[in-house]
Structure 1
Amino acid sequence: MSFGTHAYVPDARNASVKFNVNGMLVPRDQAVVNVFDSGFMLGDGVWEGLRVHHGKVAFLDDHLDRLWEGLAALHIDPGVTQEELAERLSETLAANAMTEHVHIRLMVTRGLRSTPYQDPRVIISPATIVIAPEYKQPDPATAERPLKLQSVATRRGRPDVQDPGLNSHSKINCITACIQGIEAGADEAIMLDPHGFVATCNSTHFFIVRKGEVWTSTGDYCLGGITRSKVIALCKANDIPVYERNFTLRHCYAADEAFTTGTFAGLAPVGEIDGRTIGNGTRGPIVERLQQLYLALIARDTQ
């Protein structure tokens, strides 16, 4: 069964992988948090998805900067520095002898609460930090197999309601959008902003190609994606016109190509949106070129 951009190759080695819970390495099946943990109880925390290549986390500084920005927004003290957390990541990979085809879920929550209540003044422990590494290779077919996307009713919210740029543990609006997309027979959902412009997908960022130009949203109503920003920079460095702008579903239906970006699968082509075939329904030349440029960028960053 395919799960769109997050389709992966099962790996039996994951059964014996050790997770890092608050600085302690524990077997995967014993990696647990207390029911009073803020993340479990209220979705009170932030997280990052990381990819490992050649034994190094790709674009680690960018990910940690985004994590620290989220922690500052939620007024959470992680109790460690970025350098100390980076070392903890390295120690976890070394303990598992992991060097390639690894995905890490790095999670930081506010910590334990004395009672089920949202007020942060009831916190009775330091922040909870979990490093969950897995052998998780994207399904190779994802690079070529066109995705089916569906626009949905659930919108990306305004920052005065729940800042869409915050990578919080609370993903209910994205999950709701995903359910709507799945029920429509799609791989993933396209979410609009409060004004009706295309914002992002429920778990990836979204781009279209029109007459040789690459378009993506303004970024006002989506997470500051690391892969998204790298693709925009690659376009600029390789004379591919790229624009962060408002556009609607009408522009998507008439696009020559479309694709998504994300840490796990990189760039994935889109062949159908709301039942309309995009271009000829297959991976287009600009998407293929950007895929190769992105892989080369990862190789340089992790050499």
Structure 2
Amino acid sequence: MAQGTHLYVPDPRNDTVLIDVNGEHFARAEAKVSVFDSGFMLGDGVWEGIRLHHGRLAFLDRHLDRLWRGAKAIHMDIGVPREELERRLYALLDANGMDGDGVHVRLMVTRGVRSTPYQDPRVVVTPATIVLIPEWKEPAPETATRMLNLFTVHVRRGYPDVQDPMLNSHSKLNCITACIQAAQAGADEGLMLDPHGFVATCNSTHFFIVKDGEIWTSSGDYCLDGITRGMVIEIAREAGVVVRERNFSLTHVYGADEAFTTGTFAGVAPVGSVDGRVLGTGRGPMVEKLQRLYLARIDEDVRGQTRP
């Protein structure tokens, strides 16, 4: 049975978790934003998903760099210094007793509350809305070894002059429709092509194939500037593996030796089939190697951190 790439272990502690809304803590059931908020009304904002590892937020600098880049690109003032946002993150984790592993934080920033339902940012009447949602959220134990089933969907990753796919924006309807089509086809996730028919990315993760000892991934022109994607490219090259960021088609995918997805939540996850074509009998040696290297890089990152 298809489960999606974000299959997790339910945790009853999430029923009483505290959520930060604009610097104040609320019980999960009481955390609210206005119906006039830009995110609710128009999907106007940017966000990050961050994992806690050994009590530290993994790759936090990279996530905050991307958050500020995205806000600048849409001409949105986050409204608080970076140091203050980092302080809020750790204060919320402390308030929830989250000091180890198995925690995922969704950091969301919208343009703020509008005076009327309208897209023009000039009707915004408050500072940006900042919401932090921490959850006890471990990937399912089989995530590292269960072979994912992908299905190529009709929804394309578009041109940057329509809606730049590099932006990690709240406007995710194209990815949602891709996910729906994949789910209806019985797949775990949708594989999305770019406007030219080359492989771009999945609806919520990035996609890689392995061919003759090399790793291939898309050019990056039509996908999110993924933190885990970039990290896997780095660690593979440091290990002497050839990584090619290039255009490739479904024909290359169907003939691949291995394939895998990357994302903040599940890390490196193996792919077993695409559109009914089986890509091997199990988790391959390259995926196993990258999983080890990625975990080692997370350990290295959090060891070098100091928290506020």
Q: Which TM bucket (shorter chain)? A: over 0.9
Task: Give the corresponding residue for 2:224.
Answer: 223
Q: What is the alpha-carbon distance in structure 2 between the residues aligned to residue 264 and residue 164 of structure 1? A: 20
Give 5+ residue unaligned stretches, structure 2: 304-308
Q: Letter of the aligned partner of 1:165 in structure 2?
A: M
Instruction: Give the distance between the partners of 2:25 and 2:51, measured in 1 at CA.
Output: 20
How does 1:77-92 map onto structure 2 within 5 Å?
A: 77-92=77-92
Task: Point out where structure 1 has 5 or more consecutive residues left out of the alignment.
Answer: none
Task: Decide whether the 8 Å contact of 1:4 with 1:142 is kept in 2.
Answer: no
Question: 1:246 Cα shift?
Answer: 0.4
Percent identity for Structure 1 against Structure 2: 66
Q: Which residue of 2 aligns with 1:193?
A: 194
Q: Structure 2 counterpart of 1:158, which letter?
A: Y
Match of 1:248 in 2: 249
The one-letter amino acid of 2:117's match is P
Runs of 4+ in 1 over 4 A off after TM superposition: none
Residue number in structure 2 paired with 1:300: 300
Q: What CA distance in whole angstroms lies between the structure 1 residues aligned with 2:204 and 2:161?
A: 21
Aligned mates of 2:83, 2:210 — CA distance in 1: 39
- Give 1:2 deviation, angstroms: 5.5
Partner of 2:306: none
**1:57 aligns to 2:76 (yes or no):** no
Distance 1:218 1:62 in 2: 20
TM-score normalised over the length of structure 2: 0.97
Residues 1:161 and 2:187 aligned together: no
Which letter does structure 2 place at the counterpart of 1:214? I
Q: Would you say the 8 A contact 2:105–2:134 is kept in 1?
A: yes
Q: Which residue of 2 aligns with 1:104?
A: 105
Kindly report which structure 2 residues correspond to 1:95-174, keeping only aligned pairs within 5 A, or say none: 95-99=95-99, 100-174=101-175
- Displacement of 1:140: 1.2
Helix, strand or coil for the counterpart of 2:221? coil
The amino acid that maps onto 1:12 is P
1:3, distance to aligned residue in structure 2 (A): 2.8
Q: State the shift of 1:279 in Å.
A: 2.2
| DSSP 3-state at the match of 1:5 | coil
CA distance in 1, matches of 2:203, 2:5: 11
SS in 2 for 1:200: strand
Q: Is the 8 A contact 2:215 2:242 kept in 1?
A: yes
Normalised by the size of structure 1, how large is the TM-score?
A: 0.98
Deviations 1:177-232 (A, max 9, x none): 11111111100000000000000000000000001000000000000000000000
The residue number in structure 2 matching 1:21 is 21
| In structure 1, distance between residues paired with 2:75 and 2:286 | 41
SS state at 2:5 partner = helix
8 Å Cα contact 1:143/1:267 also seen in 2: yes
CA RMSD of aligned residues (A): 0.8
